[in-house]
Chains A and B, each alone.
Chain A
Amino acid sequence: MRAAIEAAALLITAAGVVSFLAAYAATRTIRVALPLLLDFLMAAGLMRLAGDLSWGGILLTVAIIAVRKVAAFGVAEKGTADTGSPHGTSA
């Protein structure tokens, strides 16, 4: 059971990386591509947490969520600053 969940989480992580690269290649916009990767990583983290009652697992998931929130906030702020500036771009 645990092995299956680990394998599924790994698969989701790989799908997230592929999605991120494809989205970045298609749009050249990190603001669009990064949230995709972070969503997939969070899905993988949540899957790992299923049935894993260890402090290590909990801390890992909290770290992923914290990174996700900070990165999403930073990218959103950057996007706002870019579109707000007179010569700004959406990247």
Chain B
Amino acid sequence: MVLSWEVLPESDLREAIGVLVQVVETAGALIIFVGAVWAFVRFIVTVVRGRGHVKGFNRIRLTLGRFLVLGLEFQLAGDVLRTAVAPSFTEIGQLAAIAAIRTALNYFLGREIAHERAELEREAEGEPQRDAGAGPGRAQGAVG
């Protein structure tokens, strides 16, 4: 008598991981979509208000970049899950290519965000000095 008993059959495991990958990747895509919609709405508001365009656009891009990085992290998590069931070399190759793209993008986006943030901070530090420098002149103008 052959006793065959599996705690978790391979087909069920594949199915379960497939569902998990779908959920995680959908969450990543949703985060990217929400970020893009949010950035678009903020962008339209900035254009309509019509003040501090360049600075406002940079702030919006910075936030959109953060959303993209977060979405990418989710998608990378999906890739890692997928490696649990990758039967063919073709699929493994495609998975490696996508993971490489996402990792490189994550790195470059992180660098861009750091750069933009440093620029915004530099501008913010420069503004009070400029205001302080312009203060007496403005005060004289107000008196005169």
Contacts and interface: CB of A to CB of B under 8 A. Distances in A.
Contacts, number: 95
Interface string B1-40: 0000000000000000000011001101100110111011
A51 interface: yes
Contact of A1 (B22, B39, B50, B101): B22
Contact of A32 (B28, B33, B53, B105): B53
B95 A53 contact: yes
Chain B residues touching A, range: 35 or more
Chain B at the A interface: SS class: helix
B29 A47 contact: yes
A58 B98 CA distance: 7
B94 A46 contact: no
Contacts of A50: 25-26, 28-29, 75, 78
Q: For A8, A15, A49, which residue has the most chain B Cβ atoms within 10 angstroms? A: A49
A40 B95 CA distance: 24
Given A55-B94, A58-B97, A65-B101, A26 B75 contact: no
B40 A46 contact: no
Contact of B65 (A29, A39, A44, A53): A39
Contacts of B26: 1, 50
B57 A51 contact: no
Interface in B82-135: 91, 94-95, 97-98, 101-102, 105, 108
A72 to B, nearest CB: 9
Nearest to B27: A50
Interface in B57-87: 57, 60-61, 64-65, 67-68, 71-72, 75, 78
Given A5-B29, A23-B47, A39-B39, 17 more contacts: A8-B33, A22-B44, A27-B54, A29-B54, A36-B57, A40-B39, A40-B64, A42-B105, A43-B68, A46-B75, A46-B105, A49-B102, A51-B22, A53-B94, A58-B101, A61-B101, A65-B101
Interface of A: 1, 5, 8, 12, 15, 18-19, 22-23, 26-27, 29, 32, 35-36, 39-40, 42-44, 46-47, 49-51, 53-55, 58, 61-62, 65, 69
